[in-house]
Chains A and B, each alone.
Chain A
Amino acid sequence: MPEALERLLGDPWDPANPLGYAEVVAADERREMFAAAERELDAYGLSAEFVPSAYGGRLTTLDGLVRIMRPVWRRDPTLGLGYGLSSFIAAVNVWTGGSPDQQKRLAEQLLGGGRVVTGYHELAHGNDFARTELTGYGRRLNGAKEVVANARRAESMVVFARTSPEQGSRSHSQFLLSKADLPPDRLAYLPRFGSMGMRGLDLGGIVFTECPMPADALLGSPGEGIETALRSFQVTRIALPAMMVGILDTGLRSVLRFATARRLYGRTAADIPYLRATLAGSFADLLLCDAFCTVAARAVHVLPGEASVHASLVKYIVSKRLIDAMDRLSRVLGAHFYIRQGEYAIFQKLLRDVSVVGFGHAARVACLATVLPQMPRLARRADPVAEGPVAAGAVDPLFRLGADLPPLDFSRLTVTSARGRVESLSAVLRTVAGQAGADPELRRLAMVFITELNGLEADAGQLRPRDLGVDASPDALAVPARFAAVLAAGAVLGMWWHARSGFLADPAWAVAALTRLAADLGHGDGELSGALVERLASELVGRFAGARAFDLADSPVPG
């Protein structure tokens, strides 16, 4: 439960709390992991959250995992990545492509508090990891992965290596290795790169020299490396930005603390209209990010065939929203976003750490490049005049927080979206636009996205195969980028439509979120009306005063 972790970590603003922000900042200044918090997470057994329940862990839903991890990211993103997410990114490859024996072995290590790391990327080749130079010919590893989180302290590794000199996509494999099984003299570490954020992370390189591997190290069949990686990305490209939404919660809370404590021109800063508009806009961004992440995470269970498109487009949309929102908030903090000490010093750390979401695990443009080749098919298969609920009942659990989901079945993930169908989120736009009872502004905005979708389908149909690869023009890449905004709008509308009561059932947040997304498509400037600013700002201030989270779940937090 997220509440249990929040209680365990205590009030982050309390200067006497050894797990509070003062100590988070101090650990960052020392360029160390936050050791006291890691001990608490060890005691909690957090790594069990990354292990499927079939292997004795507590992982049942991706949405649930994200919500459990958000308090950790809300506290310290370095802890989020260094304690948790790096192990999860590696482990998903084993849950997706490993044998039952390998899965059992890794589960035991993680349940015992161990860590596992992954190395796909090499510095010289960026996101083009098929060019990897590390080789695994004849069960021997040769080469280096230069930037690996937890390189030194992990007990296990999933290593991506070239295993055939042939061109094509069957020339790479992944290996699950325990360091204890490798001769120590064939493994060396490279020094850490200095980094702007995540300064405490155990970030380093691993070099293999004629390093022999045990016979049971290969994940899956020879040549399945790229396939397993691409399938695994569909889980992890959602998990990373979804967890990082917690950073914006703390960013907003820092500004609210600052603005309610500070008196300017005879009133509190929180009453200044510009500041209220900035807070309301960033709150709308947080809600739309959470809606898209939540629906995509739940869709991995319900519609795993659509996950390839959802995951890359979530990473694309949410990463930029989070970075931009933190950047805007930094401006209302004035000098306090720049100062590395005192009550608000956590903000400058978060501002540096959040940048990772833009390039970490997959660059934003690489996410567009993943979806671009699928766009012509999506255009061909979708029916722009299709009306009504396309299997509406089947997709309802996507939009209902806490509704039962089918099990997370890693074996159903495929490298591209099956049959080119990604209709669950666009269908909901049409449903809402056709509802006479819906808020008129919401219906108008829904129509903006339906019109965009129809235009998009026409544009995608014009793409030629040579427009779809690495030479894709910015115009071609704009097609999946626009599609991302349409899907995010569908997620927001679906969450609103299925909400029964409370703030989520109020059209205000959905109108605000769609107003922000419409600006991505060139419709309006994304600024919220005065009435919307007041509705969102008063909800935000109410949650702040009542110590509740700013995301869709609205759960209690210790501060």
Chain B
Amino acid sequence: MDDLRSWLTQRVASYLGKDPSEISPSVSLATYGLDSVYAFVMCGDIEDYLDLPIEPTVAWDYETIDALADHLSALVDQR
């Protein structure tokens, strides 16, 4: 779970060209300017990383890194 959170934080930081320390896992991704384009890119990265099919709209429904990490861990546990 913490691994997943820090991996997501790194991905988001890399999309934005920022340092991971500048990204808060409890702030909505839209606040950082991550729009629907990034949401699709992130879905692809998540699918590859977890080797798990996810809904392409997952980053629309779970708007912070914390919420996404919770949701994805639950999916991984169900596998």
Contact = CB atoms under 8 A, between A and B. Distances in A.
Interface string B30-68: 110001111111011001100001011100110100000
Given A169-B36, A416-B43, 13 more contacts: A166-B28, A167-B28, A169-B57, A374-B40, A414-B56, A416-B40, A416-B56, A418-B53, A418-B56, A419-B53, A465-B14, A465-B41, A468-B41
Nearest to A230: B36
Contacts of A418: 53, 56
A104 interface: no
A366 interface: no
- For the residues of B in contact with A, the DSSP-based class is helix
Q: Number of contact residues on B: which range applies?
A: 20 to 34
Contact of A168 (B28, B40, B43, B47): B28
A468 B61 contact: no
Contact of A415 (B29, B41, B56, B61): B56
Interface string B9-37: 00000110100000000001111000111
A233 to B, nearest CB: 13
Q: Which of B15, B29, B40 has the most CB of A within 10 A?
A: B40
A227 B40 contact: no
A465 B60 contact: no
Contact of A227 (B29, B31, B47, B57): B57
Given A168-B63, A169-B36, A373 B57 contact: no
Q: Number of contact residues on A: which range applies?
A: 20 to 34
Nearest to B63: A168
Given A465-B14, A465-B15, A466-B15, A167 B31 contact: yes
Given A415-B56, A419-B53, A169 B39 contact: yes
Q: Which of A373, A376, A419 has the most CB of B within 10 A?
A: A373
A-B interface, 8 closest residue pairs, ranked by CB to CB distance from nearest: A167-B30, A377-B44, A169-B60, A469-B37, A168-B30, A465-B15, A416-B56, A373-B40
A468 B37 contact: yes
A224 to B, nearest CB: 9
Nearest to A227: B57
Contacts of A374: 40, 44
A170 B28 CA distance: 13
Interface string A163-174: 000111110000
A420 interface: yes
A418 B47 CA distance: 11
Given A376-B41, A416-B40, A416-B43, A227 B60 contact: yes
Q: Which of B35, B37, B39, B60 has the most CB of A within 10 A?
A: B37
Given A167-B30, A416-B56, A419-B53, A469 B35 contact: yes
A126 to B, nearest CB: 16
Contacts of A130: 36
Contacts of A166: 28, 30
B17 to A, nearest CB: 7
8 contacts: A166-B30, A380-B48, A415-B57, A418-B53, A419-B47, A420-B47, A469-B35, A469-B37
Nearest to B40: A373
A153 to B, nearest CB: 34
Nearest to B47: A419
Interface string A323-335: 0000000000000
Given A167-B30, A168-B60, A169-B60, A373 B37 contact: yes
A226 interface: yes
Nearest to B35: A469
B75 to A, nearest CB: 15
Contact of A376 (B17, B44, B53): B44
A414 B43 CA distance: 13
A166 B15 CA distance: 21
Contacts of B61: 170
Nearest to B61: A170
Contact of A466 (B17, B28, B40, B57): B17
A160 B13 CA distance: 33
Contacts of B17: 466
A226 B61 CA distance: 13
Nearest to B36: A169
A226 B44 CA distance: 19
Interface in A514-529: none
A468 B40 CA distance: 10
A465 B39 CA distance: 10
A372 B29 CA distance: 21
Contacts of B40: 373-374, 415-416
A421 to B, nearest CB: 11
Contacts of A465: 14-15, 38, 41
Nearest to A419: B53
A85 B63 CA distance: 36
Interface in A456-495: 465-466, 468-470
Nearest to B42: A465
B44 A420 contact: yes
Interface string A401-417: 00000000000001110
Contacts of B56: 414-416, 418
A442 to B, nearest CB: 34
Q: Which of A130, A226, A415, A468 has the most CB of B within 10 A?
A: A415
Nearest to B48: A380
A400 B25 CA distance: 51
A72 to B, nearest CB: 35
A481 to B, nearest CB: 17
Interface string A224-253: 001100000000000000000000000000
Given A168-B63, A170-B60, A415-B56, A469 B38 contact: yes
